[in-house]
């Protein structure tokens, strides 16, 4: 990636983790593979539940103006 700076352009190396295997079609391919084989998907229902709990704790924390402990 090129970054423009007043003193000139600089090339900065970085890893883009959102590629065809980790984002979009890769997620769909993983889901279909797991249905066909019975394997565990990369992201499980437990992962989704944990994200929801964190989200709800953040909303509660903002509404009450205090720290909220997990699990709810």
- As a residue count, the chain comes to 72
The whole-angstrom distance between residue 54's C-alpha and the CA centroid of its chain comes to: 13
pLDDT-above-70 percentage for the chain:
68
Task: State pLDDT tens for residues 12-27.
Answer: 666 666 666 666 788 8
Range with the poorest average pLDDT among 5-9, 45-49, 65-69: 5-9
Task: State pLDDT tens for residues 36-49.
Answer: 999 998 888 898 89
The whole-angstrom distance between residue 35's C-alpha and the CA centroid of its chain comes to: 22
Residue 50 reports pLDDT greater than 80: yes
């Amino acid at each position: 990636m090129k970054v423009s700076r007043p003193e000139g352009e600089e090339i900065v190396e970085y890893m883009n983790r959102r590629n065809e295997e980790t984002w979009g079609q890769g997620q769909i391919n993983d889901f279909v593979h797991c249905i066909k084989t019975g394997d565990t998907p990369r992201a499980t229902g437990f992962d989704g539940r944990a994200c929801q709990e964190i989200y709800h704790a953040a909303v509660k924390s903002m509404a009450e103006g205090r720290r909220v402990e997990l699990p709810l």
